[in-house]
Chain A
Amino acid sequence: MNGGAALLWLACGLGVAAVGVLRFAWSLPHRSAAWNSAGWAALAACVLCGGWSAGAWGVSVAALCTMAAAFAVLAVAGWRAPPGKATGSNRRMGMLPEPGEPHIGRRLVTFLLVMPGGLLAALAIALAVRGSGLALGWGEANANVGGLFAVPLAWGVLCTILLMQARRGQAITLLVCGVAGAPFIVGGMGA
């Protein structure tokens, strides 16, 4: 077995061990910083060893091993779970109006702000990432790919933030994104 393969096995082993340690730590009646840290440290070591063994490929394989181990532990927990009748949450989400709540118009505005508005803001951020990358000497390929990755990441984060905010906060968030992208959209930066 060569060094890379041994490291990959070690990464997978650390991932499985991390699941076991965290399972133990989170089952304790009181929070144990030591056991929690040990579990998270094993996870971090798993990622590092995976990376050392074969870069992103090694990290991916080690992550799959770790998740598979967690699923196995979870399956045992589900199998052993006794029947119960605890009442689930009935907390309101406010997604659909309940009887007597004619708020469809407000929800439509929220949709427009989050989806088309969020996309435009994310594109502004992407242009800013690309332009800033070029200014920092990333090179054209890195800057363009930075922009490609920035759109879904920024839009996903914006989606969450905008839906958690009141209308005024939403306006400020979108404005900040617009200002960040303005030098690259209307100015000549990033060319």
Chain B
Amino acid sequence: MKLVPSSSTVKNALGAHAAIGLLAGALLYLVCLSGTVLVFYQEWQRAEQSDAPEMAQISPDAVQRGVEAVMASERGKPATTHLYIHLPVAKLPRTTITTDSQAVHLDAAGNVASPEENGWSEFLYALHYTLHLPGLYGMTVVGVLGMLMLALSLSGLIAHPKIFRDAFRLRARHRGGVGLSDWHNRLSVWTLPFGLAIGLTGAVIGLGSVTVYVVADRYYGGDVAAVYATVFGKEAKPDPAKAPLPDVAAALRYMQAHYPQVAVTYATLHDPGTAGQHVQIAGDHPRRLIFGEYYNFDAEGRFEGSAGLADGAIGQQAAASNYKLHFGNFGGLPVKIAYALFGLALTVVCATGVYIWLGKRQRRGVSEPRLRAAWNGVIWGAPAALLVTLAARFALGNAAPFTTIFWSFLAGAILVSVVRGRPAPRGSHGPDRLR
């Protein structure tokens, strides 16, 4: 039995594919491009601040000293609600403490060494995560783009009944649009598992807030935290009464003694310095996609149990597996290189999709030089803008206004490209294979 869609189905699917691609094209391109570069997030952080103290490991007592020093430095400021201790791991062998108001590196003895300076990495992270839009709005927009990636994959499959049969046919040097279509279709089909995984995990992360809000509103009396608690475990009841700082060292020692196979990646102190405080330690499990398991401790460092991300309900494990699968940090450098390669392929797929559409219109006699010029501006302007921000990081320092530089440069590149875009005689402007 052959499952061949009718010609009208193919035509409708192609229309749907084009509509989604054009609706999301530029933003999807930016998200794919930034995601490709962001694969090396930890490496970028190390490059940005190469003189930060590095260590293979840090003792629990040194961590405790660091926490006390950081908390002491915040006396008189609004109390921090969460204190994160990022512990040294192979890909980022640094100890960094982040509070609501600051982030500092510790040396191996637990002394505060220097402020964290990874402004460019954070700018890149925010570009990919939220397109620099405010918080949840940005995440939701990027989540919608992930959903549209799924729709593009589905409509693309329906629109190209021979896409598997032709999966190795790459007429790379053909002009007149054929070569471009082949690049688009071949890269799409061979990155299909990757694209589906990236699109779905990105959409689940991005749209999660909307879904959780609706579920909370309908079934949990509007308590969003209660919905998350069913998956990631719940936080202790806050009690703002003052209390001595928690014994993080005891919790870390417990992990060393009872979970030696687990790599502790970070610890979170909830409401530190209050009677409601507790310690949560995230541990990375080898050969697992989950970002880690949460091990919970009270203020005295007594183990209270784990959240179940590693061995709990299948839903918990699936939710916890979203992040590594999306960011490609589950198999060291080889996996990162593969993610960068396939991410680049997806970026090329986004770029070529619109060029294919423009080429088809041009071959029907609808010439749109300014639209093509604007798209050229996006395609070449965005990576150039990223390079300019990176240059600004090393020329101007950590405080350079990366977001302003990026969007101004990109807008300028599009504007210049459009202004310079002139209707050209057939065959004389731009690479012919881009039509």
Binding site for B on A (CB under 8 A): 4, 22-23, 26-27, 54-58, 60-61, 63-64, 67-68, 70-71, 73-74, 77-79, 81-96, 98-99, 110-111, 115, 119, 123, 126-127, 130, 138-149, 151-153, 155-157, 159-160, 163-165, 184-185, 190-191
Contacts and interface: CB of A to CB of B under 8 A. Distances in A.
Interface of B: 9, 11-16, 18-20, 22-23, 143-144, 146-151, 154-155, 158, 164-181, 186-187, 190-191, 193-194, 197, 199-200, 203-204, 207-208, 210-212, 214-215, 218-219, 227, 230-231, 287-289, 308, 312-316, 318-319, 321, 325, 330-331, 335, 338, 341-342, 345, 356-357, 359-361, 363-364, 366, 435
Given A64-B335, A127-B215, A87 B172 contact: no
A51 B313 CA distance: 18
A151 B211 contact: yes
Nearest to B158: A160
B174 to A, nearest CB: 4
Given A95-B15, A98-B366, A144-B227, A68 B174 contact: no
A93 B215 contact: no
A83 B230 contact: no
Contacts, number: 243
Contact of B338 (A26, A67, A98): A67
A156 B318 CA distance: 19
Nearest to A99: B366
Nearest to A77: B170
A88 B364 CA distance: 11
19 contacts: A22-B167, A54-B288, A60-B330, A60-B331, A61-B335, A71-B341, A77-B172, A78-B172, A84-B173, A127-B215, A139-B313, A142-B314, A143-B315, A145-B316, A152-B203, A159-B16, A159-B20, A163-B19, A164-B13
B233 to A, nearest CB: 10
Given A90-B363, A157-B154, A160-B155, A81 B435 contact: no
A57 B342 CA distance: 18
B315 A146 contact: yes
A31 to B, nearest CB: 8
Given A153-B150, A163-B12, A190-B219, 20 more contacts: A57-B288, A60-B330, A71-B341, A74-B170, A78-B170, A81-B170, A82-B173, A85-B174, A88-B180, A89-B177, A99-B366, A126-B211, A141-B231, A145-B231, A146-B315, A152-B146, A155-B147, A163-B16, A164-B12, A165-B12
A79 B173 CA distance: 9
Contacts of A23: 168
A160 to B, nearest CB: 5
A92 B308 CA distance: 52
Given A90-B360, A95-B19, A151 B207 contact: yes
Contacts of B204: 148-149, 151-152
B168 A86 contact: no
B148 A159 contact: yes
Given A93-B19, A98-B366, A142-B315, A164 B9 contact: yes
Nearest to A110: B19
Interface-central residue, B9, B16, B360, B363, by most chain A CB under 10 Å: B16
Nearest to A71: B190
Contacts of B171: 81, 84, 86
B230 to A, nearest CB: 5
